[in-house]
Structure formats: C-alpha cells, structure tokens
Amino acid sequence: MGLHPPTRTMQPAPEQGAEVDGIWWYRCANRGWQCNWLAADDSGSGQCVACRLARKRPDQADTLALEKLAKTSSDKRRLLIQLSELGLPIVPWYERPGGLGFDLLSSRSDGGRVVIGHANGIVTIDLAETLDAHREQLRVRLGEPYRTMLGHFRHEVGHYYEWVLVEQTGWIDECRELFGDERASYSDAIARHYRSGAPLGWIDSYISEYATMHPWEDFAECWAHYLHMTDTLTTAAAGGLELSLPGGEVRPRADYSGSTMKELLADWVPVSGFFNQVNRAMGKGDLYPFGIVEPVARKLDFVHRVVTASRVERSLG
C-alpha cells in the first residue's frame, strides 16, 4: 500500500504501479528509507512530492545521517499531510523561486554545524535532533518545556507562511498590530534575547518565552501551536473521543475550517487538559505544557483566519 498525495488515501502499490484517477502511480524511490508515499508517473525522479521537497540531504555515503533522515522525513510527511488537510498552498521550491523546500542536514556529519531556520522558502532542519539525548540537552539548556522534530517543522513552516500569506498580502497591517513590527532588527533581537532572556510578565502576552524574541518568532510559535491543536483535535475526533464534563459533553471535530477560534479553544482546553492527566498517570510531563491567555487567543484567532482564508482546492500534487 502507498499514500496517494492528491487524495490523502492509501492505495494498492504493486511493484509494477497502479492507475489512480487516470494517472499511473508507483512506489516512491525512497521506499527503502521508509517512505510509503506514491510518486506520479511524470514525477521525473521516481520520488514522491514529499521527498522531492527535500532540496538538500546527506551524502549517500553518510549512512548514519541517512538513518536520521528516514525518521525526520516521517515528521515531514505528517506536516505536509496536515498542511494539505488545512488546504494551505504548497508550491515546491523546484517550481518557483521562493517555493517551499527543505534542507535536511546533520550537524554530526562532516559538514559541521547546522542552524535550524527558514530563508526564502527553504526550511533547514538538523537531523541530529532525532537523537533524544542531543535534543533533550538542548531543550534543558534553552529552558524549553517542549522540543520535538515535528515541532521544529511546524515552527519553521510558520515563518514561510507568514512571508507568503501575510507579509505580501493585505493581512500585514493587522499582523503588526497583534505581533509587532517584523521590520525590527532581527539580529539585535537575538542578541537581546540570549543576553537577557524573556521580559518579566511575558506569560501574560505570549505563548512561550521564545515568542518574546521578535515578532517573527511570536507568529511562528503561534502558528506551530495552531498546528499542534488542530492535529491533536482532529486525531482525537477520528478516534471517537468524547468527554463528559460537568458543563456538558465535548466532541472534537474532524474539521475546524468552518469554526471560530473560540469554538476551537472551547474544545482544546478540556481535551488538552484530559491528555495532560493521562500523561501524569504514566509518570510523564504534561502533553501540552502551555497556557493560553486572552492576548495569545487573539493571535491564534488571526492565524486561524489567515489559514481558512488561504485554502486551495488541492495543495499536494
């Protein structure tokens, strides 16, 4: 079986290929590296769209880095499926300058240090963060309550979509009112943040300490949390979760595109609280160790409105 990207459905994937909606589809050439997507006959490389979005990857001789690539690519595919479910446009880097792409490199390889970030549509991810000890060491040193590879993807793609859907459109004025002026010096903001940390009282206006650094980071953090919320809620809905609470029953929805952010948060608060309790029952930390105050709710509402207004009919080819 293999995933048919345009319809996001699993289809038979015999070695000789299969016809879906009049087009022949084949197993992705990276199936040996755990990719279970299908590639269209005219893909030109035998790779699925998710794999073709990787602009750079480790050298073929670097087998250790390629093992990390396989794990990281799974998170990338989950990200792309969610972006497609939300109807967000996915224009590949190889089709248009400034299109979305990924440089998946390892700081443990000969190339040296890899800085996670986004620039001109390209998201760079350090494959070394698939190593739990390495990632946890960074999380503790940076004072973060949460750090995952999927979280990196969601945060960095937030920078891409702010650039594409907000900064180059009529949304920018409202964005600056809520998040601040993104034209402020980013280098000065980084230096200030790592010198002095988050300002006192940050928790009253921001989703995380990192969000206080610069308007760009505030938006990207809210974007990432919006993806956390919607994916968790729709997954819970697919599993048939229902919560019976004193105030009534809570039933997560399979699709929040027609809902308000207020309605989404009305589901999210009790559902995330329930999952936090489940984690504690297993002796683990909270699944969602964050609070959502009113200023953050307004920022999340902005993200939700941008997402729902930017829907396209088909985003994964």
Round the average pLDDT of the chain to a whole number and report it: 92
Residue 110 confidence class, pLDDT cut points 50, 70, 90: low
pTM: 0.94
Does 255 map to a domain?
yes
Please give the structure tokens belonging to residue 180.
């601040």
| Number of domains the chain contains | 2
Tell whether 220 is covered by a domain: yes
State how far the Cα of 265 lies from the Cα of 272, in Å rounded to an integer.
10
Q: Is 59 part of a structural domain of the chain?
A: no
Specify the pLDDT at position 111: 67
**φ/ψ bin of 154: left (φ > 0), alpha (ψ from -120 to 50), beta (otherwise):** alpha
Residue 231 lies in a domain: yes
Q: How far apart are alpha carbons 221 and 209 in whole angstroms? A: 10
Tokens for 62, please give them: 């670097």
For residue 1 the two structure tokens come to 């079986």
pLDDT of amino acid 129: 85
- CA 15 to CA 2: how far, in whole Å? 11
Report the relative pairing of strands 38-40 and 23-27 from DSSP bridges. antiparallel
Band of pLDDT at residue 99, cut at 50, 70 and 90: very high
Paired sense of beta strands 54-56 and 23-27, if any:
unpaired
Write out pLDDT tens, residues 209-257: 999 999 999 999 999 999 999 999 999 999 999 999 888 899 999 999 9
User: Higher-confidence residue: 18 or 295?
Assistant: 295
CA atoms of 225 and 299, how far apart (whole Å): 11
Domain membership of residue 209 (yes or no) is: yes
Contacts of 85 (CB under 8 A, 6+ apart): 8, 234
> Does residue 122 fall inside a structural domain?
no
Q: CA 118, 122, 124, 130 torsion: positive or negative?
A: positive
102 occurs within a structural domain: no
Would you say residue 84 lies in a domain? no
pLDDT at residue 32, rounded to an integer:
78
Angle at 40 between CA 36 and CA 43, to 5 degrees: 110
Strand, helix or coil at 289?
coil
For residue 19, the model assigns a pLDDT of 86
> Residue 44's pLDDT is what?
80
List beta partners, residue 26: 39
Q: What domain range includes position 201?
A: 170-309
CA within 13 Å, CB half, 256: 29
Q: How do residues 252-271 score in pLDDT, each as one tens digit?
A: 999 999 999 999 999 999 99
